[in-house]
Chains A and B, each alone.
Chain A
Amino acid sequence: MAPPQPDAPTLSIQPSPQELRRCSEWLTDHCQKEAVPPGPTGKLDLCLNEVLANLIDHGGAADFTCPVDLTLELADCGDRGLATLTIVDAGPAFDPLGASRGPLPRSLQEAEPGGLGLLLVNRFMDERSYQRAGDRNVLKLGIYFSKDP
């Protein structure tokens, strides 16, 4: 796993509903500074929210003794940029990218309200990877964006 860029913005949080908003502010502020367009920023923000909400709801975040660490990295890919968010937590091993979900609903009565957050992560993110590194879950989510104004 490549180390993060030395000047990449980072944030450490203790997952809670209140902290989700602080994470969003941190992410959107840095994306705005780096001229990431609102569309990709909104999708990255949504996916960060879903991953952290999943940790709060199902990952035992209330028992975490270590914070969740976030790092945002920007890469130049020719005519596009790539915004990559790394989310590191010390919870039980869990690969959110491998979580399966049934087919999309065909009727309102069979619409299954669960599992939508991780479905959004898989649909919205162009680059996704998960690794268990020691006692940490390391999730990387990336989205490409146009550099044209």
Chain B
Amino acid sequence: MMQTASIRSDDVLETDGSIKLRKVVLAGRLDMLGMEDIALKLTSLTAIKPLPVILDLRDVSFLASIGIRSIISSARALDQKGGRMVILLGDNELVKATLESTGIDDVIPMVADEDQAERDALA
């Protein structure tokens, strides 16, 4: 049985309770069925408020173009609102190659290291 897609988020708060940084973690298989399950939540978590967002793809086993389209749309909406998205890849070589082949690495920052992702998102 193939692993399905999942999404969860974790907010880092300022002392006054406002959101300093949002971490959105995707996992599993981001194909047609997978994106049906998570696309709306991805948009609501990343494209509504002008926040620094780390999109963590370290546990994504399969990223189809339908998933890339959803990421582009969210990153673009976030950018228009004044937020910023950074993609965290770890050592996920297939997802890295997929994003690089489509040129997305030139328009959304991609990093391997979690600390670097935080620094870049908050820069």
Number of interface residues of A (CB under 8 A): 30
Interface stretch of the complex, out of A61-69, A89-97, A117-125, A130-138: A117-125
Of A17, A49, A107, A119, which one neighbours B101 at CB under 8 angstroms? Answer: A119
Q: Which residues of A contact B75 (CB under 8 A)?
A: 108
Of A39, A43, A49, A116, which one neighbours B102 at CB under 8 angstroms? Answer: A116
Min C-beta distance of A138 to chain B, whole Å: 23
Our count of residue pairs bridging A and B at CB distance below 8 angstroms stands at 83
Q: Is the CB–CB distance between A108 and B36 below 8 Å?
A: no
Task: With A17-B36, A21-B33, A119-B102 as known contacts, state yes or no: A108 contacts B65, CB within 8 Å.
Answer: no
CB closest residue in chain A, given B107: A108
CB closest residue in chain B, given A53: B32
Interface stretch of the complex, out of B38-46, B51-59, B66-74: B66-74
Of B64, B69, B73, B76, which one neighbours A49 at CB under 8 angstroms? Answer: B64
Min C-beta distance of A142 to chain B, whole Å: 17
Most A CB atoms within 10 A — which of B69, B73, B108?
Answer: B69
Q: Give 29 CB contacts A-B under 8 Å.
A: A20-B32, A20-B33, A21-B29, A24-B62, A25-B2, A39-B94, A42-B94, A46-B64, A46-B98, A49-B31, A49-B62, A50-B65, A56-B32, A104-B102, A105-B103, A106-B106, A108-B75, A108-B76, A109-B76, A109-B79, A111-B72, A111-B76, A111-B107, A113-B73, A116-B69, A117-B64, A120-B65, A120-B98, A124-B97
Residues of B within 8 A of A (CB): 2, 29, 31-33, 36, 62-66, 68-69, 72-73, 75-76, 79, 93-94, 97-98, 101-104, 106-108
